[in-house]
Homo-oligomer: A and B are copies of this chain.
C-alpha cells in the first residue's frame, strides 16, 4: 500500500501546474499540512534542503562581515507603530498576543512579521559614536504573517527566513550594502540553486513598507510565472529619524544613521521545485541535494551485491559525495521512481553482472542519460559529474527563461503576450503608478522590476498610456 502511493503517477505539469506542485511537495515528502491553519510541517527531506541553503548562504554572508544575532519574536504595539509606512504595511497581517499566562497583557505584542522596529530599538541603545558603525547583523528565525490564502513554501502564515539589518554612517555606504547583498543573493541563486535571476529595482508601488528603495531578484518558474526570490531594502534615514538613532561623527556632530534590510525565505524551496522539477518529481541541483547519489543494488539478495554497494558508498563518501544505499526491501523499479521523485541528482545501479564486469550504470536525474562506468572510476568521476549537472541545470533554466521572455511596444501587444505567452514581458513605462494599476487590473501582471542591466529603451513610449517612457520594466504574473 505505502509503496504504491509513491509510484502512482503525479498530475502532469502541463495538465495542472498547481496540482503538479502540490503533488511533488507531498510525494517528495517535503511538507505536510497541520491542524494549525495556514502553517506547515517541514519534513526531514524538506528541512535538509533548508539546512544546505542556510549553511551556504550564511557562509557567503560571513565572508562580507555579517554577524548573527537573535532578537525577540514579540514586538510591542507601540514599537511597531513608530514608523508610519511600516505599520500601515504590516499591521493588517500580524498575529497579536494579548495574554501571558493567566493574565491579560498591559500592551499587546505582535509576533514579528519582520524585525525592522526591533533592530531600530536595539541599535538606538548600541550606537553612539562613529566607532560603533557599521552594524551588519543578521538573524535566522521564523516570522508570521496572517495570510488568507496559503501554499506550501510559497505563502504560509509562518515561514523561516533570514533577515539582515544594517546601520551605516553614510547614505552611500547603506546603498552599497543594499546592492552588495542583492549581489550575494543573485550569486547564491545562480551558483547554488542553479536558478538564473534578474536583478533590478522595484517601482514605488511594489517596494517594501518604509523603504526608500527596494531591490529584488526575480526568477521565472516553469509555468512562466515570476517568483520574487529575495529583496534588499535601503531605508535611508527614515527609520533612524522615527526611532532617534543618532551617532556623533569624527567632528563631534550628531548625525542619523542610514539603514538597510534584506531577506530570503523557505520560499526558495518552492522556487527549486518550480524551476527544475518535471513530471517524475523533484530535481535537486547537486549543491542543495541532501543526498546527491543513490546507490540502488539489483538482486541485492545475491551474495556480494550489497557488500559492493556499501564499498562504493564508502569510496564516494570519502570523495565528498553525499551518498546513500537504498537497501530496503522494495523492488529496484520502485526505488528508481522514488529516487526520481525525491530529485536525487545521480543514481548508481549495481547488480551481479555489473560486478563481474567491474562496471555500474550511472543515471542522471536531470537528463535521464545513462552511462556505464568502471566501478573503480566512480570516486574520481562522480564529483565532476555532479558539477556538470549543476551547470547544465543552470543552463537549462536559463534557456527556458530566455525562450519565455518577450517584448511589447504597445498595449494590445502587451495584453496579448501576457494572455497567450506565459513568461516575462519587457516593456517601457512612463513612471506613473496609474499605468501599473491599470495593467494589474486588466491583465493581472505586475511590474517585477526595473532591471539593472539589459535595460536599453525598446521604445520611447509607455506601453500602457503612450506618454514618454522613463524605464524599461520587466512585467509578469507572479506568485
A50 to B132: give the CA distance in the assembly, Å. Answer: 23
Of A33-41, A208-216, A281-289, A468-476, which binds chain B? Answer: A33-41
Q: In the complex, which residues 30-74 of chain A have their Cβ closer than 8 Å to any Cβ of chain B?
A: 32, 34-36, 39-44, 47-48, 50-51, 67-74
Given the interface pairs A122-B32, A125-B32, the reply to whether A51 lies near B70 with Cβ below 8 Å is no
- Tell me if A131 is interfacial: C-beta within 8 Å of chain B: yes
15 pairs, A vs B, C-beta closer than 8 Å: A2-B128, A32-B122, A35-B76, A41-B70, A41-B72, A44-B68, A51-B68, A72-B158, A73-B73, A73-B142, A74-B95, A74-B158, A92-B101, A95-B101, A97-B98
**Which B residues lie within 8 Å of A132 (CB)?**
2
Interface residues of A in 321-376 (CB under 8 A from B): none
Task: Select the residue from A35, A40, A48, A125 with max chain B CB neighbours within 10 A.
Answer: A35
Within 8 Å by CB of A99, from B79, B96, B100, B128, lies B96
**Contact flag A69-B42 (CB < 8 Å), given A2-B131, A36-B76:** yes
A103-121 CB contacts (< 8 Å) to partner B: 109, 111, 118, 121
A428 and B2 CA atoms in complex are apart in Å by 53
The docked-state distance in angstroms from the alpha carbon of A214 to that of B131 is 50
A99 surroundings in chain B (CB, below 8 A): 95-96, 98
Tell me, in angstroms, the Cα distance from A39 to B67 when the chains sit together: 20
- In the complex the two chains form, is B35's CB within 8 Å of A79's CB? yes
Interface membership of A94, Cβ < 8 A: yes
Min C-beta distance of A87 to chain B, whole Å: 13
Asked if A67 meets B44 with Cβ closer than 8 Å, knowing A34-B72, A36-B72, A158-B74, the reply is: yes
| B67 engages A42 (CB within 8 Å) | no
In the A-B complex, list the 4 residue pairs whose CB atoms are closest, starting with the nearest.
Answer: A39-B72, A44-B67, A100-B146, A96-B99
Residues of chain B lying within 8 A (CB to CB) of residue A377: none
Is the pair B93, A101 in contact by a Cβ cutoff of 8 Å? yes
Q: Are B73 and A144 in contact (CB under 8 A)?
A: yes
Chain B's nearest CB lies how many Å from the CB of A74? 5
Q: A42-B69, A47-B70, A74-B158 are in contact. Are A97 and B118 (CB under 8 A)?
A: no
Neighbouring B residues of A42 by C-beta, 8 Å:
69-70
Give A100 Cβ to nearest chain B Cβ, in Å: 4
Please, how many angstroms separate the alpha-carbon atoms of A69 and B46 in the complex?
A: 8
Please give, as numbers and ranges, the residues of chain B lying within 8 Å of A35 by CB-CB distance.
76, 79, 121
Option from B2, B41, B68, B131 in Cβ contact (under 8 Å) with A71: B41
Q: Is A137 an interface residue (CB 8 A)?
A: yes
CB <8 Å contact, A75 and B36: yes
Contacts of A48 in B (CB 8 A): 67-68
Beta-carbon contact of B98 and A96 below 8 Å: yes
Cβ-closest chain B residue relative to A329? B131
How far, in angstroms, from A97 to B98 measured CA to CA in the complex?
A: 6
Chain A window 150-175, contacts with chain B (Cβ cutoff 8 Å), 1 for yes, 0 for no: 00000001101000000000000000
Q: Within 8 Å CB of A22, what residues of B?
A: none
Q: Is the CB of A69 within 8 A of B98?
A: no
Q: A126: nearest residue on chain B (CB-CB)?
A: B32
Residues of chain A in range 129-150 having any CB-CB distance to chain B below 8 Å = 129, 131-132, 137, 141-142, 144, 146
Chain B residues in 8 Å Cβ range of A51: 68
Q: In the complex, what residues of B have CB within 8 A of residue A94's CB?
A: 101
What is the CB-to-nearest-CB distance from A255 to chain B, in angstroms, rounded to a whole number? 17
When distances are taken between beta carbons in the complex, the residues of chain B under 8 Å from A36 are: 72, 74-76, 109, 118
- A142–B95 alpha-carbon span in the complex (Å): 17
